[in-house]
Amino acid sequence: MASMDTLVAVVTGGGSGIGAAVTAEFRARGARVGVLDLDPGKPADGLLPVVADVADRGSLERAAARVAAEFGGIDILINNAGISAVGTVEANDDDEWQRVLDINVVGVARTTAAVLPYLRRSNHAAIVNTSSIAATAGLVQRALYCASKGAVHALTLAMAADLVGEGIRVNCVAPGTVDTPWVARLLARTDDPSGEKARLAARQPTGRLVTAEEVATAVAYLAAPESSATTGMSLAVDGGMSGLRLPR
Ligand code: NAD
């Protein structure tokens, strides 16, 4: 495990699921972490929770300034906060399209703009966005969500191109279905939650859901100096779902 003990990270959506696992992984590697979330949890040694909304530019600027003042700078940004949307293109009205794109896509751009002034002062600056298999695979009943994560993938490439000259790397992870409170909430809305969970697990060639810790390990690799030659890439953490075609 590469040490991150001189580094400071900001994790959006760090109060739950994948973001909470990333925060725990970074703390285990010695990084200090600012958790920016609507519900960021409790403070602890090396961990600063800050209430912030990725839909609100002012709250992000204030949160970034607080983390930098507390820990002496910011080296790493994890753009992980996101919300789900279910349905075909006919299912969501214009307000819902605007709301989900505003959080999942514009939220990444907004948070990056708020944190970049601090990243520019770091010698190990890196950004990791949480995309999804939904960026590159057509998932049934997920039109708006797929569109939002496709945009996160494209934004990762554009940001990487714009920032490579300044030594700032930008990559994304593309998880399959991860066992988090998010998925538990979606399952609870179905008629047969345990049957649906088994179906989601079977969709991934490994035959199980991905764990939040497995995604966190991939995020830590892309965020740490050990991946110093990697930028503009998407790392699938999806149990083989995007790459493998197994005989039925
Ligand atoms: P989660 O619901 O467990 O956690 C999401 C966190 O984001 C919550 O703490 C929530 O409070 C926070 N959040 C939501 N809106 C916010 C806002 N406007 N501002 C600040 N914080 C906000 O979800 P998760 O499963 O951990 O998902 C995290 C990310 O991973 C999302 O971007 C999601 O699209 C992506 N993802 C999840 C899965 C999965 O199967 N769980 C798969 C692929 C990608």
Distance 149 CA to ligand 1 centre (A): 12
**Does 173 or 245 have the greater pLDDT score?**
173
Does residue 19 line the site of ligand 1, with CB under 6 A?
yes
Identify the helix (H) or strand (E) that includes residue 78: strand 76-79
pLDDT for the residue numbered 152: 98
Beta bridge partners of 177: none
Specify the residue with its C-alpha closest to ligand 1, atom 44: 132
Kindly report the average pLDDT of the chain as a whole number: 97
What are the sequence ranges of the domains in the chain? Answer: 8-178+211-237
Distance 24 CA to ligand 1 centre (A): 16
Distance 44 CA to ligand 1 centre (A): 22
Ligand 1 atom closest to Cα of residue 55: 18
Distance 15 CA to ligand 1 centre (A): 9
How far lies 230's CA from each of 97, 164, 234, in Å? 33, 10, 10
247 band by pLDDT with thresholds 50, 70 and 90: confident
Please state the rounded mean pLDDT for residues 72-83: 98
Does residue 55 line the site of ligand 1, with CB under 6 A?
yes
pLDDT for the residue numbered 136: 97
pLDDT above 90: residue 2:
no
Provide the angle, in degrees to the nearest 10, between the axes of the packed helices 107-119 and 57-71: 30
Nearest to 4 by CA among 74, 83, 102: 74
Does residue 38 line the site of ligand 1, with CB under 6 A?
yes
pLDDT in tens, 170-194: 999 999 999 999 999 999 999 999 9
Q: What are residue 88's phi and psi, to 5 degrees? A: -80, 180
**Percent of the residues in the chain that have a pLDDT greater than 90, as a whole number:** 97
Ligand 1 atom closest to Cα of residue 19: 26
Strand ranges of the sheet holding 126-130, from the earlier edge strand across to the other edge: 47-51, 32-37, 8-12, 76-79, 126-130, 169-175, 234-237
Specify the residue with its C-alpha closest to ligand 1, atom 36: 132
Say whether domain 8-178+211-237 belongs to CATH 2.40.30.20.
no
Beta bridge partners of 9: 33, 76
Give me the active site residues, please. 145
Please state the rounded mean pLDDT for residues 182-211: 96
Specify the residue with its C-alpha closest to ligand 1, atom 24: 17
How far lies 188's CA from each of 146, 172, 180, 238, in Å? 21, 29, 12, 22
Does residue 117 line the site of ligand 1, with CB under 6 A?
no
Does residue 181 line the site of ligand 1, with CB under 6 A?
yes
Does residue 216 line the site of ligand 1, with CB under 6 A?
no
What the block records as the tokens of 38 is: 């609507």
246 band by pLDDT with thresholds 50, 70 and 90: confident
pLDDT above 90: residue 226:
yes
Using alpha carbons only, what angle is made at residue 140 by residues 156 and 90, rounded to the nearest 5 degrees?
A: 95
pLDDT for the residue numbered 20: 98
pLDDT in tens, 53-77: 999 999 999 999 999 999 999 999 9
pLDDT for the residue numbered 150: 98
Does residue 37 line the site of ligand 1, with CB under 6 A?
yes
Specify the residue with its C-alpha closest to ligand 1, atom 19: 53
Nearest to 210 by CA among 181, 175, 171: 175
